[in-house]
Structure 1
Amino acid sequence: MLKTFDDRALGSSSSNKVAPSAGTPLEQSSKGRDALLNCLISGGDERLECEPATGLNMYGYGPSPRPLDLAFGSSTASTISAPAFAAVGAYHADLLREMETHSAADIYAREIARTRTELLLLLGLDQGLGSLPVDAIMATSGTDIHLFAAALLARQDDQTLMTVTLMGNETGSGVMAAASGRHFMSRVSNDCPVAKGEELSPGHATRNTTVAVRSADGTLRSDEEVEFELRGLIELARAAGLRCLLVVTDVSKTSLLAPGLETVFRLKARFGSMLDIMIDACQFRVSAATIRAYLTHDFLVAVTGSKFLAGPIFSGALLCSPRMSERLKQRPLPAALADYCAKADWPEGWMARDVLPHRANFGLLLRWKAALFELERFVRAPEEKVIAVLSAFAEAVGERLAQDSAFKPLDGRPIDRKPLWDGSEAARWDEIPSIFSFYLCNPHRGGMLTAAETAAVYKNLAVEHGDLVPVRLGQPVRCADFSDMPASALRICLSAPLIAQACESADAFNGLISQAMTVLDRTADAAAQLTFEPSSARASL
């Protein structure tokens, strides 16, 4: 007989249960399947909660596979694939059997350590950098990683920390609060309530400032303008005796690498040790080689398994180079972080382990297992095929968005990582965009749709209508204000599973392009059929 805590740890509690959904390929008992579903949405904050009636969370996704969906929304979230669900289900069943005779916390400690090792292996980091180990701190979400980074760097040398991030519309709604050392939601991974917005360490708040990369009309600010603003902010921080953490987003919700790497390296050369750099690669649209290059420069790197990798939401990791590990592993943590993570989530030898509870978070473990299932499949695909798929998709989608009057592409720029490669011109898959952002237009009425209208189209597409399967796009991103009219951009995205499948055959690749065109057809139709009254402030093209 399993203990009550063990039952809850593996998702058998009655709280936060999800409604079953059809279409899963896994043949298992209803009880075992329900336990798996509930485990997959455990060990996080309220963003994981699912509505009982729909089985979907606030992003419109749930823990069950939905293989019929046209799934092109991985810049927001994804639904677990049927193969990953089957693999995780078998793994979950093994854990349940072992729980009959062993401690949940002990099992979790062993398995999350194995998961950490597997992640580093798939990234080519299992041998470390220069024979010294790379450390990975496991976290429930990308936002948690920002909180951890701020906590590790705060009060170093008795200096207050100032974090500099991009505006939340390019990163995440909770990032700015987390980067300032504050609770960013109302519940944490151990299911305890917290005061959203309150400092984790009262009286030791991290300062936070943000930089916009777009102008009010949605166009991109120049690199020179952004660099000038950043330099001024960091100069003010240095004059005030502060340390700084600059968060570089690679890539953002709208496929930006910002600020540009030439700017980042110039700032690092100018400010030296008072400026630390963290790469927010939480979309995980970066190659293993790119991650290794960032770590070689002693930049912290944040990744998650729930965007490009298309694992279920809420699995993150903060990667630390050997030199950064040596510097940070003896840093104390705020006591409040004991509610966010377990001892085993942190690598051996880190002081953080001394103040964290020996407990299990099987939800985090299973979500990472699903993400790594997809990562392993993706890294097996030959890079030349991955490049071919990405290039052809970018050409087809880019041409459609540019030529169809139903769409207006959002202003963007190429992904440029040349400063990492010392002038090397080798082709790399992660320099080809996999997120394509666009405003919606109604050609019959004239002008772009408002943010509210775009949101209505997004929600309508995600619902099954008769024989029409749901279309999953990236959630609308508020990008501009035209006069007094707010405008948002939708996103059509490639994920690792979509690319891996398209690499298997010409038919699979052609099917991917066909599906993408169907998605854009249906999106254009939905925009044209809106019955909203024209707005006097509607922007013209």
Structure 2
Amino acid sequence: MQQIADDCTLDENVTAGASSQQRGEARGALLKHLVSGGDERLDCDPVNGLNMYGYGPAPRPEDLAFGSSTASTISAAAFVAVESYYADLTQEMETSSPKVIYDREIGRVRDDLLRLLGLSQSSQPRIDAILATSGTDIHLFSASLLAGEDERALMTITLMGNETGSGVMTASAGRHFMSRVSSERAVVKGEELREGDATRNATIAVRNKDGSLRTESEVEEELRGLIELARAAGLRCLLVVTDVSKTSLLAPCLESVLRLKQRFGTLLDIMIDACQFRLSAATIRAYLAHGFMVALTGSKFLAGPIFSGALLCPPQMSERFKSCALPAALADYCGKAEWPEGWAARDILPDRANFGLLLRWKAALFELGRFLDIPEDRVVAVLSAFADAVSDRLANDPAFEPLQSRPLDRRELWGASSALRWDEIPSIFSFYLRNCTDGAMLTAMEMAAVYKELASDGDGVASVRLGQPVRCADFGDVPASALRICLSAPLVVAASKSDEALATVIAQAMLVLDRTAEVAARLSAGSNIKEMRRSA
């Protein structure tokens, strides 16, 4: 009998071991999928498992994660949800076609996104959504669609890359913005997708050389001049309005945008770059009601794994785009199922499944659903308390110097309103660091060193995740950058649970700023010593 019992125990241990191995293999496959189906920005270093932004596909709950303006690591809760979803998918794939499953599931992602944003009611005009592997891809898609409408060349107008993204200007000119695309094909960065395409991009600065903000009238005057020149040259224009930018700006301001649209009419199309996703569903609906396209991603405020994107098209734009042909090269960027039914663009696209994109969007929608479950007055309370605490610290601690910003003013969408909306409260706070010895601003190179050291692991100290330094000023002839501390949807969810939970999140933010000041002081002290030795 003892032998039988021992044999049973052995069988149980073997079964448990096999089950554990299977779970490990399934987890490994999921992690690979989460970084598949995109360009080289998703590639992870084989040694540390992190991509070029310092993030990987697995949860890192020990991190002090306040860098969602750049990227985020998937939360533990989202990973559990996606892991369960992935297990169901793999089981179904044993008996069904992966392509059929993908088409169905990516369609559900589109439907879920529209439903969560209040855009799926049958009584409303239909909103079409194009899914994409990143926000930058969306800029490429919108430029390609508009350039294919008629014989007139297109000029896109965007903010400079330091307020949007490094590849936005290239993508908006209808050119490859990376060296590899989601099909895994190598391309030539900067080469036009459609040979002979005359699409061009013009950029506009919203800051002066010293980092201060240009007046809204100056920006509007420059925009008007650019569009007038385009009209004289027989061009059409796409103006990209950023809501919000890397440093929490809504630019150009909506009053100027609506005035320009009224002046230039059908010559000028508008796309709202809301890729930070720091705006409410009501604001998104209001933009669409104005006939503006809206670009979103799931990897900034929502803190889904990088990258995932969507372009929302109001009915008047969908009607125009349905018959537009795409450059053949876009077939390497996306598959048929990611584009709306009935669009001619689908004709050139392959029946290719991108399970990486599907899983990344599932994680982002999990976070969006959790965030939308919080009553708006509680979201307002959390954001207000966080903004007050961080703004006060940055303004009064001599280690920091806040970067100039301005209120998020969307009154042109709503008219006068006494109620404070959550997306009118900033959730990105940009700042310079000062040398602890002489009070001088740290240089761009020194800010990069601070960012890198904070993000590194070691000695049992949690990694600090801030938004990457934004190159936004020159002090004299010295380049300067600003770091950013940000709230994300998962942080708001955590802070909304109780007053104690809110106090904990704010305390973590203060710890992040403590650590940032300490690293800056240590690095600047070392620089001062080296300078004194060179001078001796």
Give the TM-score taking structure 2 as reference length: 0.94
State the match for 2:398 in structure 1: 405
1:303 corresponds to 2:296: yes
C-alpha distance 461-134 of structure 1, shift in aligned 2 (>3 A) = same
SS in 2 for 1:438: strand
SS in 2 for 1:88: helix
Instruction: Give distance in 1, aligned partners of 2:156 and 2:440.
Output: 39
Instruction: Give distance in 2, aligned partners of 1:476 and 1:131.
Output: 42
Query: Does the CA-based 8 Å contact 1:104-1:359 persist in structure 2?
Result: no
Instruction: Give distance in 1, aligned partners of 2:417 and 2:351.
Output: 46
Tell me which of 447, 451, 454 is aligned to 1:461: 454
Amino acid corresponding to residue 532 of structure 1 in structure 2 = S
Instruction: Give distance in 1, aligned partners of 2:514 and 2:64.
Output: 12
State the match for 1:125 in structure 2: 119
Amino acid corresponding to residue 147 of structure 1 in structure 2 = L
1:67 corresponds to 2:61: yes
State the match for 1:318 in structure 2: 311
Larger radius of gyration: 2
State the match for 1:135 in structure 2: 128
State the match for 2:71 in structure 1: 77
Q: Report 1:444-523 matches (<5 A).
A: 444-523=437-516
Deviation at 1:334, TM superposition (A): 0.5
Instruction: Give distance in 1, aligned partners of 2:437 and 2:21.
Output: 49
Instruction: Give distance in 2, aligned partners of 1:409 and 1:534.
Output: 27
Query: Does the CA-based 8 Å contact 1:249-1:280 persist in structure 2?
Result: yes
Deviation at 1:28, TM superposition (A): 6.3
SS in 2 for 1:200: coil
Instruction: Give distance in 1, aligned partners of 2:56 and 2:259.
Output: 43
Instruction: Give distance in 2, aligned partners of 1:131 and 1:345.
Output: 22
Q: Which structure features the higher share of helix residues?
A: 2
State the match for 1:106 in structure 2: 100
State the match for 1:5 in structure 2: none
Deviation at 1:156, TM superposition (A): 2.5
SS in 1 for 2:367: helix
Deviations 1:221-257 (A, max 9, x none): 0001000000000000001110000000000000000
Instruction: Give distance in 1, aligned partners of 2:252 and 2:182.
Output: 31
Instruction: Give distance in 2, aligned partners of 1:352 and 1:533.
Output: 59
Deviations 1:320-353 (A, max 9, x none): 1112111111111110000000000001111111
Instruction: Give distance in 2, aligned partners of 1:507 and 1:423.
Output: 34
Deviations 1:129-177 (A, max 9, x none): x532111100000000000000010042311000000000000000000
Tell me which of 527, 530, 533 is aligned to 1:532: 527
Query: Does the CA-based 8 Å contact 2:148-2:325 persist in structure 1?
Result: no
Give the TM-score taking structure 1 as reference length: 0.93
Amino acid corresponding to residue 332 of structure 1 in structure 2 = A
Unaligned 5+ segments in structure 2 are 1-19, 532-536
Query: Does the CA-based 8 Å contact 1:84-1:374 persist in structure 2?
Result: yes
Unaligned 5+ segments in structure 1 are 1-25, 537-541
Instruction: Give distance in 2, aligned partners of 1:30 and 1:503.
Output: 34
Deviation at 1:31, TM superposition (A): 1.1
SS in 2 for 1:472: strand
Query: Does the CA-based 8 Å contact 1:445-1:534 persist in structure 2?
Result: no
SS in 2 for 1:168: coil
Deviations 1:260-315 (A, max 9, x none): 00000000000000100000000000100000000000100000000000000010
Amino acid corresponding to residue 106 of structure 2 in structure 1 = I
C-alpha distance 524-489 of structure 1, shift in aligned 2 (>3 A) = same
SS in 1 for 2:195: coil
% identity of equivalent residues: 70
State the match for 2:243 in structure 1: 250
Instruction: Give distance in 1, aligned partners of 2:352 and 2:92.
Output: 16
Deviation at 1:534, TM superposition (A): 7.9
SS in 2 for 1:156: coil
Deviations 1:484-509 (A, max 9, x none): 21000000000001001111111111
1:289 corresponds to 2:282: yes
Instruction: Give distance in 1, aligned partners of 2:124 and 2:427.
Output: 33
Query: Does the CA-based 8 Å contact 1:453-1:532 persist in structure 2?
Result: no
SS in 2 for 1:202: coil
Name the Cα RMSD after superposition: 1.3
